[in-house]
């Protein structure tokens, strides 16, 4: 898949003006929704009720990123709400392939995420079980952190392997993505880019989205 997708993260949005914030990113491909449980990561955001309201209000489909410990039990609920994609962490799932199958069965794209210290090689034989793989470029938990360029070799190994196998899996990066870092990730094989502060911190989020799109494509 050679398309570029830009998914703004609402973690950087104004939570009490969510409807207006969502309207500002109508030119995005998906809205990235970070669910945190104060256990898998040391931060807490929101749960299924809030995500359901975001789903009802958003002009673009939802890309849900679950940073929660009990992925096997909780992830399907987000697919049932109607999220376009549901990504759980490999470190948090007892049976990642079974969970991905369940998500697809409900009708969502199934995603799996890896933290910076987690190798991707264990996913090589099951690439087809997933619609997207998220390589974290920060330690999950907070927005506004610096992009970890040391994750690029891992991303490149994954993208080489996906190409070798003729896989159509989307490769996503999340953390510290902005105009000055997105090209490195695109060069290493990413096609789907999460950006929080770079979009919602901009005066004109729509212009920020187009700038990221062209920087990723160049
Ligand atoms: C971090 C979250 C990210 C976060 C990215 O744990 O998964 O989605 O919102 O924020 P920025 O783009 O500001 O690094
Ligand atoms: Zn995220």
| ipTM for the assembly | 0.99
Contact 88, 113 (CB under 8 A): yes
Tell whether residue 89 is among the known ligand binding residues.
no
> Cα–chain-centroid distance for residue 12?
14
Pocket lining: 174 vs ligand 1, CB cutoff 6 Å: yes
pTM of the model: 0.98
Query: What is the pLDDT at residue 2?
Result: 55
Please report the pLDDT score of residue 210 as a whole number.
98
* Cα(67) to centroid(ligand 2), Å: 8
The answer to whether residue 204 is catalytic is no
The answer to whether 99 and 72 have CB atoms below 8 angstroms apart is yes
State which CATH number among 3.50.30.10, 3.30.300.30, 3.20.20.70, 3.60.20.10 fits the domain covering 5-217. Answer: 3.20.20.70
Mean per-residue pLDDT pooled into runs of 10, the chain (218 residues)? 88 97 98 98 98 98 98 98 98 98 98 98 98 98 98 98 97 98 98 98 98 95
Helix, strand, coil shares of the chain, percent, nearest 5, are 45, 20, 35
pLDDT score, position 218:
80
174 is catalytic: yes
CB-ligand 1 contact for 8 (6 Å cutoff): no
166 is in an annotated binding site: no
Q: Distance between alpha carbon 142 and the CA centroid of its chain, in Å?
A: 14
Nearest-ligand number for the alpha carbon of 6 = 1
């Amino acid at each position: 898949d050679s398309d570029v997708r830009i998914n703004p993260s609402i973690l950087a949005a104004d939570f009490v003006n969510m409807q207006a914030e969502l309207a500002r990113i109508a030119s995005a491909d998906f809205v990235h929704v970070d669910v945190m449980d104060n256990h898998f990561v040391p931060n807490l955001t929101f749960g299924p009720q809030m995500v359901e309201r975001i789903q009802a209000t958003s002009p673009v489909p939802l890309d849900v990123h679950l940073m929660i410990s009990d992925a096997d039990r909780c992830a399907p609920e987000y697919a049932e709400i109607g999220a376009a994609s549901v990504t759980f962490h490999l470190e948090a799932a007892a049976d990642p392939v079974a969970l991905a199958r369940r998500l697809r069965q409900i009708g969502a794209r199934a995603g799996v995420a890896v933290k910076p210290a987690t190798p991707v090689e264990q996913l090589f034989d099951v690439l087809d079980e997933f619609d997207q793989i998220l390589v974290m470029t920060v330690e999950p938990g907070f927005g506004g952190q610096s992009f970890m360029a040391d994750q690029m070799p891992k991303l490149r190994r994954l993208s080489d392997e996906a190409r070798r196998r003729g896989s159509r899996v989307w490769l996503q990066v999340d953390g510290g993505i902005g105009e000055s870092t997105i090209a490195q990730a695109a060069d290493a094989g990413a096609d789907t880019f999460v950006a929080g502060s770079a979009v919602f911190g901009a005066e004109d989020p729509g212009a920020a989205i187009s700038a990221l799109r062209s920087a990723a494509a160049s």
